[in-house]
Amino acid sequence: MAEQTYVELNNGTKIPQFGLGVYMIQGDGQTAKAVKDALDLGYRHIDTAHAYQNERGVGQGIKESGLKREDVWITSKLWPTDYDDPETAIDKMLDRLGTDYIDLLLLHQQVGNYLNAYKGMEKALKEGKVRSIGISNFDGERLDDIIEHSEVKPMVMQVEMHPYYQQKALKEKMKPYGTKFESWYPLGHGDAGLMNESIFTKLAKKYGKTNAQIILRWHIQEENIVFPKTTNPQHMRDNIDIFDFELTDEEMAEINKLDSGKRYYNASLAQQEQFVNYHPAD
């Protein structure tokens, strides 16, 4: 299996472009197993969050893999209830993960005291507790607020992104800051309409891959960072088996024509504000 690719952030750090997402993997035991299985298969990036309630499992899985800490990229996210006291929240996160630094720390949602939290992440960056920082699910005025008041511009933006919703305008907006993009719902929430688009079926046949592998390969060539979630070792193996072929410019252009603005998550800002009522356990 060919080695995976990396994307360079605006501070010169190189982030593995492909990883495992552990959203909705229940419990530390199951998470640890999934993380170890993924690392055994060559994954080097794990995406978690305080809200996922499985950071301890991520740390356990990394330890069980036998890999050196510096060979595994850990991304995690502060939840809005962490925003009032980010310094304490980051220290607790380090303890849960069983590490003395986090490779990438994001603000999870654009609600609560997010400016205070971002300042706290900038401080953690200077102290070496965090190696890179960014934001997730920010847009509009609240994104402008972060850009205007930050000393360190977001290195990474994590958002819903797939062939139906390619985030071209947002990418263009963040281009001056060198912000790189991570995709959640990279396969469109598994939507059969997207997965079975004729272009993917045609290319899957041409390259001897699955439709999902074609979509993931498109992400890689778009310079998106992706981490599809699965606990199935065979699916993990299939997902990462996308580095031994390359789509042509013409094929990429054809896929890009699918961009229709269709998204699968449509919570209003008022609905997002409700997130501050959820307090994940430490």
**pTM for the structure as a whole:** 0.97
Active site residue 265: no
Name the nearest CA neighbour of 178 among 203, 153, 151.
153
Q: Whole-angstrom Cα distance, residue 161 to residue 225?
A: 10
Q: How much is the pLDDT for 3? A: 81
Q: Whole-angstrom Cα distance, residue 30 to residue 58?
A: 10
Q: Whole-angstrom Cα distance, residue 282 to residue 274?
A: 20
User: 108 labelled as ligand-binding?
Assistant: yes
Q: What does the radius of gyration of the chain's CA atoms come to, in whole angstroms?
A: 18
Q: Are 164 and 260 in contact (CB under 8 A)?
A: yes
Selected catalytic residue, list 6, 23, 52, 118: 52
Q: Are 50 and 78 in contact (CB under 8 A)?
A: yes
Q: How much is the pLDDT for 2? A: 62
Handedness of CA 47, 247, 6, 35 (dihedral sign): positive
Name the nearest CA neighbour of 109 among 158, 151, 152.
158
Opening angle at CA 109, ends 105 and 113, nearest 5: 90
Name the nearest CA neighbour of 104 among 37, 171, 9.
9
Q: Whole-angstrom Cα distance, residue 31 to residue 35?
A: 6
Q: How much is the pLDDT for 154? A: 98
Structural domains in the chain, CATH included, are 6-273 (3.20.20.100)
Walk along the chain (282 residues) and give the pLDDT tens digit of each residue.
568 899 999 999 999 999 999 999 999 999 999 999 999 999 999 999 999 999 999 999 999 999 999 999 999 999 999 999 999 999 999 999 999 999 999 999 999 999 999 999 999 999 999 999 999 999 999 999 999 999 999 999 999 999 999 999 999 999 999 999 999 999 999 999 999 999 999 999 999 999 999 999 999 999 999 999 999 999 999 999 999 999 999 999 999 999 999 999 999 999 999 988 999 999
Q: Whole-angstrom Cα distance, residue 73 to residue 227?
A: 12
Q: Whole-angstrom Cα distance, residue 229 to residue 97?
A: 19
Q: Whole-angstrom Cα distance, residue 195 to residue 171?
A: 24
Q: Whole-angstrom Cα distance, residue 132 to residue 106?
A: 9
